[in-house]
Amino acid sequence: MTREFEDSEGLRQLIESFGWTLYDITRFMNSRTKPELEDLGKRGPAQNYYFKGHYFFAPIFSEGISLRDAYYEKECTGPCLLIDDLNHERWISLEVTPKSNIVFFGGRPPDTGHFALFSRLSFDCIDEENCVIAWSANPLTTSDYVFMRADQTLDTFRRYFRIVQIQNYQEN
């Protein structure tokens, strides 16, 4: 039996407060198949998160709208973490590409701090330390990876989690 992530409910509520949720894609990851949005939408969002589990971020959608259409309706690119201090103890490992084309929240100009964009969250154990990994599966770009300490994940999301909107991008 896999162990439940101890801050599962708090993390779910926080993510849902942004109008997003997580879908369990563990079965797809283990079988190395691509999850279809229609299948995920029918199964519904995950209520709890477990170590050795993999989850996909998606906007919360209303009755009669498909999960695919929810992305267009929200006009969102997706989740991100603002990272001001690359050396903070909460980060086990980081691989974050520079993004000079994002004009960000709260008057934060481009090139101030780092922004890790991601679409998935995995709960794992590395060198006997529980961790949560924020990542994307996009073979066309260099993806960001954020490995954070599991016991600091809820606090990290409270402080640094945001949803990137289309209007946050500028033309270069």
> For residue 122, what are its two tokens?
């995995």
The whole-number pLDDT of residue 172 equals 44
- Residues forming a β-bridge with 117: 80
Q: Which residue matches tokens 């939408």?
A: 41
pLDDT at position 124 is: 92
Question: Apex CA 82: angle with CA 24 and CA 104, to 5°?
Answer: 110
CB contact set of 106 (below 8 Å; sequence gap of 6+): none
Tokens of 48: 């709890």
Measured CA to CA, the distance from residue 1 to residue 51 in angstroms comes to 10
pLDDT in tens, 31-54: 888 877 778 878 889 999 999 999
Residue 19 structure tokens: 């109008």
pLDDT the model gives residue 106: 45
- Structure token digits, residue 52: 């050795």
Residues 71/61, Cβ–Cβ less than 8 Å: no
Q: Which two tokens stand for residue 14?
A: 């926080």
Residue type, 61: F
Are the C-beta atoms of residues 159 and 85 closer than 8 Å to each other?
no
Which tokens belong to 41? 């939408």
Nearest to 67 by CA among 45, 49, 82, 86: 45
Count of beta carbons in the 10 Å neighbourhood of residue 45: 20
For the chain, the domains span: 8-166
Per-residue pLDDT of the chain (172 residues; tens, 9 = 90+): 579 999 999 999 999 999 999 999 999 888 888 877 778 878 889 999 999 999 999 988 877 787 777 777 766 678 888 887 788 888 888 887 766 555 555 455 555 567 788 889 999 987 777 999 998 876 556 678 899 999 999 999 999 898 876 555 554 4
pTM > 0.95: no
Amino acid 100: pLDDT: 56
